[in-house]
């Protein structure tokens, strides 16, 4: 099989695969399978900002904040909110003080009250030792001493009913049994073992609900709360604890919502900008670079199909900044084609045939294209690593766009051009492969 025949076969395979990819994108969009997931700014939704109070954390502060984020994320997912985003942020507060915040984005939820209700009142559970004499902690005089054991270490909770034989609790009264994780079990055993005869108060949202006397060291990682609950209260407490007891208190300080019509308008404007940008770039390439410009436009179509398919399959939550990254990567793909076609033009003017000019043009343009794409990819990785959620959306789509544009601009364009260009072209072929005001003339001085 000759070189050109092999390229023709490759070109046919690429066209077939592009057709299948186009069918996949269209079919999944019509049937709703693998939908494009839209971010808060495009789909509409609610953003809630909470202040996290870490003043009572005596141990690993960052670990407590990470646990807070994971618990809220799990709780939001249990309520079925589509594509939530839960992240930590450290922001400036009054008088230059720094405070820890929790940002919760809920796409598709435009009712702020419904969003707050979806999160619910997740309890803050704490175990504190009662001191025989008042003590001063952080400038406050109190008779309860924090132990560091909180709801962060609760693995699960169960609703049971007492038998009336222990703890002075009447028979058939609802009680809550807590099961700690391994760390919590060791802490609970140590606390009870070192304070036999003392009182270990159990606080829920800052209120004492039970003050049992420690009779012996309790191993096994289980604790019982008998706070005079009604069955409904005990059931709700168990449910909330299983959803996740917060390791630190949080306070809602800000809420904002984007209506579905505004989000739809932003999405429509972004798509329109993408289509117009693609059309203008393709028109310029075709007018200025003629036949190679047509090939570049076809490669751009394949690039768009691949990128959209990746967004659907991974999936990537698409935001307005993500659309901007997508459009920018189109320009990057065209930039690669411009470098290639300009090198081809130089070889044609030097008297080379179209096929040979394309081979040399791709070879000479490749180092610049490789280095340009590599630097862009490094930038995308850095932005994704250190950026906020909006920046990450841009960086992720842009990064995939860089890789896809490299494939389409170099591999696809090269296969198509070398499949159709002849070895020795007449003036018509030279005109089709030239650009701008160059009419395909050979530079006689260079040829000589």
Higher pLDDT, 96 or 367: 367
pLDDT per residue over 294-321, tens digit each? 998 998 888 888 888 888 888 777 878 8
pLDDT of residue 244: 61
- Tell me what the mean pLDDT of segment 1-13 comes to: 78
Res 136 pLDDT > 80: no
- Tell me what the mean pLDDT of segment 91-111 comes to: 73
pLDDT per residue over 316-329, tens digit each? 778 788 888 888 87
pLDDT of residue 446: 46
> Would the pTM of this model clear 0.75, i.e. be above it?
no
pLDDT of residue 378: 93
Res 220 pLDDT > 90: no
Higher pLDDT, 374 or 274: 374
Domains of the chain: residue spans and CATH: 3-36+259-447 (1.20.1640.10), 45-256 (3.30.1360.200)
pLDDT per residue over 332-354, tens digit each? 778 888 888 888 888 888 888 88
pLDDT per residue over 387-404, tens digit each? 766 677 788 888 888 888
- Residue percentage of the chain with pLDDT more than 90: 2
pLDDT of residue 320: 80
What is the average pLDDT value for the chain, to the nearest integer?
80
pLDDT per residue over 178-210, tens digit each? 888 888 899 999 998 888 888 888 887 677 777
Beta carbons of 279 and 332 less than 8 angstroms apart: no
pLDDT of residue 227: 65
């Amino acid at each position: 099989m000759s070189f050109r025949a092999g390229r023709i076969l490759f070109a046919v395979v690429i066209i077939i695969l592009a057709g299948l990819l186009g069918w996949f994108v269209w079919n999944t969009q019509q049937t709703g399978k693998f939908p494009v997931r839209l971010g808060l700014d495009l789909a509409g939704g609610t953003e809630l900002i909470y202040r996290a109070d870490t003043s009572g954390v005596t141990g690993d502060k960052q670990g407590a904040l990470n646990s807070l984020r994971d618990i809220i994320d799990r709780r939001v997912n249990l309520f079925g909110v589509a594509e939530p985003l839960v992240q930590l942020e450290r922001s400036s507060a009054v008088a230059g003080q720094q405070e820890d915040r929790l940002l919760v984005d809920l796409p598709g939820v435009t009712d702020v009250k419904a969003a707050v209700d979806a999160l619910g009142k997740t309890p803050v559970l704490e175990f504190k030792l009662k001191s025989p004499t008042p003590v001063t902690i952080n400038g406050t005089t109190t008779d309860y001493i924090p132990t560091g054991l909180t709801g962060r270490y609760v693995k699960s909770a169960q609703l049971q009913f007492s038998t009336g034989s222990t703890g002075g609790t009447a028979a058939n009264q609802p009680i809550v049994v807590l099961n700690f994780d391994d760390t919590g079990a060791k802490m609970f055993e140590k606390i009870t073992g070192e304070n036999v005869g003392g009182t270990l108060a159990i606080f829920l949202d800052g209120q004492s609900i039970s003050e049992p006397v420690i009779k012996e060291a309790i191993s096994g990682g289980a604790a019982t709360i008998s706070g005079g609950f009604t069955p409904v209260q005990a059931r709700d407490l168990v449910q909330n604890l299983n959803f996740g007891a917060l390791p630190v208190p949080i306070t809602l300080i800000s809420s904002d919502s984007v209506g579905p019509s505004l989000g739809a308008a932003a999405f429509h404007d972004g798509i329109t900008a993408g289509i117009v940008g693609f059309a203008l770039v393709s028109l310029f390439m075709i007018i200025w670079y003629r036949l190679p410009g047509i090939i570049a436009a076809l490669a751009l179509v394949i690039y768009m199909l691949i990128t959209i398919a990746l967004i659907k399959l991974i999936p990537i939550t698409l935001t307005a900044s993500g659309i901007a990254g997508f459009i920018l990567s189109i320009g990057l793909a065209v930039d690669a084609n411009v470098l290639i076609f300009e090198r081809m033009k130089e070889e044609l003017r030097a008297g080379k045939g179209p096929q040979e000019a394309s081979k040399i043009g791709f070879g000479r343009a490749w180092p610049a294209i490789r280095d340009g794409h590599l630097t862009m990819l490094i930038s995308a990785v850095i932005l994704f690593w250190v950026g906020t959620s909006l920046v990450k959306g841009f960086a992720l789509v842009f990064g995939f766009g860089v890789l896809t544009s490299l494939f389409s601009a170099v591999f696809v364009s090269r296969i198509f051009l070398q499949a159709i260009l002849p070895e020795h072209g007449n003036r018509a072929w030279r005109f089709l492969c030239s650009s701008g005001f160059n009419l395909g003339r050979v530079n006689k001085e260079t040829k000589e």
